[in-house]
Amino acid sequence: MGLAYSPQFENVDFDLVTPLPNPFAKAGKTTMRDNTSEQSRQAEIVQELELKEPILGFRSVQLPGMTTASTCLIMHKDDFESIKALAHPGAFGEEGKDYKMVKETNATPWMATWKFPGDLFDIKSFDLPQGASDLRMPVGEYEVQDEFHSLEFVEDDLLEKTTKSIKSNGIWSNMENLFGRTKATKWKRQMGDNQVVHELVMSDSQKDSDYPNRIPALSTSYILKDFNKPTEDELEKVKETIMALKEIGIYAFWNNIEHHCLVFYKDNERLTPMRFAELLKDQNKRKEIVDALHICVKPGATKAYIMEKWADDYIEAFAQNANYDM
């Protein structure tokens, strides 16, 4: 069933495009996993949630405060606050930068957010609307950081680097030389079986045509039990993976603190998501890449399936014939 109405908003200096024909979630009672702490996540604690209004989706809008047009969600302010209270800390970013309030003409308070944390998919009734399987969803703009300085030890084989070299605010000194700017927005596409694929899109404020604007990435949710508290063993396995990728000619770096990603940036040339997808289509190269990633992927009965599914999904989303425009 489609929307019963299309809300009209006031005090907005542009016309919102027509919302997607079906909401991401309907109004009414549902549940959401409690992601407020590692303990609640591990225990799979579920809380009751009642949505006052449906959660509406818009394919491409640009509100004041947004750096570029983007997919956007609009929901009742009270619903937003209830969801935010159960999400992991910082999930929705900063007010004004990642979300803001807009008012319907009848003064109903709605909140618009152009940051799609994975917590949203922990709402039982929340799902991609029909006809939106190709929807790109922003996850937030942050600094691009090489936390291991792995671009140094991969290029120069400085294997003595240890987890002690990680700096919470340490941006690799040549990051701007590498990409032409130091900030990027992470984008994701939700695939089947609750899998996701990601890319980093470098910020346009310093865009230079000599540099690639889009960079392939793997979410650290595939690697870490808790991305806020990676263990020393997990980080050492990531380093082993980075070196294993280097052995097959793929250069990568670790960007968990800001983007929660392992970033793939070049082979014999700069990588883009489309070029990376083409590499994965080659069965021999795909096996080498997946084998390297298996070193650091979380253990479990479905470990092999998950990475093979991720490779399939990346090809579906980004290969040359994929229906996936920026």
- Chain segment 185-211, per-residue pLDDT in tens: 899 998 877 788 999 988 764 444 455
In a domain, 20, yes or no: yes
Q: Do 15 and 66 form a contact (C-beta atoms < 8 A)? A: no
pLDDT at position 157 is 39
| pLDDT above 70: percentage of residues in the chain | 76
* 109, 152: one domain: no
User: Are 101 and 142 in a shared domain?
Assistant: no
- pLDDT at position 161, please? 37
Q: Which pLDDT belongs to residue 122?
A: 93
pLDDT confidence of residue 177: 53
Q: Write the CA distances from 19 to 59, 135, 198, integer angstroms.
A: 7, 13, 24
In a domain, 129, yes or no: no
Helix or strand holding residue 309 (H, E): helix 303-318
In a domain, 158, yes or no: yes
Same domain, 206 and 255: yes
pLDDT tens-place string over residues 81-97:
999 999 998 899 888 88
Query: Is residue 282 over pLDDT 90?
Result: yes
Same domain, 153 and 211: yes
pLDDT at 273 over 50: yes
CA torsion, points 16, 18, 20, 25, in degrees to nearest 10?
A: 60
The predicted structure's pLDDT at residue 85:
96
Question: Alpha-carbon distance 35 to 47, whole Å?
Answer: 10
User: Which is more confidently placed, 9 or 299?
Assistant: 299
Answer with the residue of higher pLDDT: 135 or 77: 77
Q: Structural domain of residue 15, as residue ranges?
A: 11-122
Sort 300 into a burial class: Cβ within 10 Å, 0-12 / 13-18 / 19+. Answer: exposed
Query: Which tops the pLDDT comparison, 159 or 246?
Result: 246
Question: Who wins on pLDDT, 325 or 262?
Answer: 262
Question: What Cα–Cα distance (Å) separates residue 44 from each residue in 34, 52, 141, 193, 222?
Answer: 7, 25, 29, 18, 17
Tell me what pLDDT residue 316 has: 92
Number of domains in the chain: 2
Q: Is residue 52 part of a domain?
A: yes
Whether 23 and 96 map to the same domain: the answer is yes
Higher pLDDT, 320 or 49: 49
For residue 104, is pLDDT > 80? no
Co-location of 186 and 105 in the same domain: no
Residue 138 pLDDT: 87
- The model's pLDDT over 12-69, given as tens digits with 9 standing for 90+, comes to 544 455 678 788 999 999 999 999 987 888 788 999 999 999 998 888 777 776 767 7
Q: Assess whether 165 and 287 both reside in one domain.
A: yes
Query: For 225-282, where are the alpha helices, taking DSSP H only?
Result: 232-247, 256-259, 273-281
Q: Is the pLDDT of residue 115 over 60?
A: yes
* Domain-terminating residue out of 74, 89, 122: 122
Return mean pLDDT, the chain: 80
Q: Whole-model pTM?
A: 0.77
pLDDT 10s digits, 126-176: 988 877 777 888 888 888 878 876 665 444 433 333 333 333 333 344 555
